[in-house]
């Protein structure tokens, strides 16, 4: 995949939750290293769109590719292979609270076919340092602050050097200062070439950390390159 090619591409996609049409005629491209916010009110389809991208929902109509996978033709057996190329970050962290920080990450690497112990140790050390948790590997998740727990979730998403990170309201449970620290980290990650699509309802961070914007509204996905274009459309 060349730098000119989109890492995510949707064309004429309709998204259903069971028999309910959530979004129709969705068209957009996201390129390597691009940071895009996905905004919209609760129930507007943000999470459903992300679920399409990481293989949780099937595409009923249209065409979509992500990280070299054709989502229309994606087989159930291919979903683990797809998710090795993606990092997914959730609002509620979804950590293993009966295991320490190291074992949370070790579990993911083992589950994605890492076998060499020295390589596992090295990769865990690398990602923990990337998210400023290098001294916390033996802490239990409940011993971490909310911001640290979300940093651990980002470290987990980075383990397999993903081409794309999909983040679903990752700052939803965090205070403004911690949210800012998290956004700084995510923008740094995007500068390394990883595309990031982040669903959020926090418009404050759109102003402080500008990037591309897509808006779910009225069953459609509207594209806005930057916040000023979004504000003009809203007036």
Task: Round to whole Å and give the CA distance between 141 and 96.
Answer: 8
User: Whose structure tokens read 């404050």?
Assistant: 204
The β-bridge partners of 191 are: none
pLDDT tens digits for 140-194? 999 999 899 989 999 999 999 999 999 998 888 888 998 899 899 999 999 999 9
Instruction: State pTM to two decimals.
Output: 0.88
Q: Which domains does the chain have, with CATH numbers?
A: 8-234 (3.40.50.300)
Per-residue tokens: 13: 């996609």
- What DSSP assignment string belongs to 4-37? TS-SEEEEEEEEEETTEEEEEEEEEEE-TT-EEE
pLDDT tens digits for 14-70? 999 888 899 999 999 999 999 999 999 888 999 999 999 999 998 889 999 999 999
Is the pLDDT confidence value at 2 over 50?
Answer: no
């Amino acid at each position: 995949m060349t730098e000119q090619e989109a890492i995510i591409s949707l064309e004429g996609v309709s998204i259903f939750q069971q028999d309910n049409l959530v979004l129709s005629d969705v068209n957009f491209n996201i390129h390597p290293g691009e940071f895009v916010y996905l905004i919209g009110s609760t129930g507007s389809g943000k999470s459903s769109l992300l679920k399409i991208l990481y293989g949780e929902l099937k595409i009923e109509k249209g065409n979509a590719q992500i990280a070299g996978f054709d989502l229309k033709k994606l087989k159930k057996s291919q979903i683990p292979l797809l998710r090795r190329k993606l990092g997914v970050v959730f609002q509620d962290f979804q950590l293993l609270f009966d295991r320490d920080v190291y074992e949370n990450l070790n579990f993911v690497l083992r589950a994605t076919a890492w076998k060499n112990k020295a390589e596992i140790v090295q990769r865990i050390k690398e990602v923990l340092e990337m998210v400023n948790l290098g001294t916390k590997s033996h802490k239990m998740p409940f011993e971490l602050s909310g911001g640290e727990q979300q940093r651990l979730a980002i470290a987990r998403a980075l383990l397999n050097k993903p081409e794309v990170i999909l983040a679903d309201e990752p700052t939803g449970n965090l205070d403004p200062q911690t949210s800012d620290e998290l956004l700084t980290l995510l923008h740094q990650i995007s500068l390394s070439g990883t595309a990031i699509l982040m669903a959020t309802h926090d418009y404050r961070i759109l102003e402080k950390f500008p990037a591309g914007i897509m808006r779910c509204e009225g069953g459609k996905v509207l594209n806005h390159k930057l916040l000023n274009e979004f504000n003009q459309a809203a007036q």
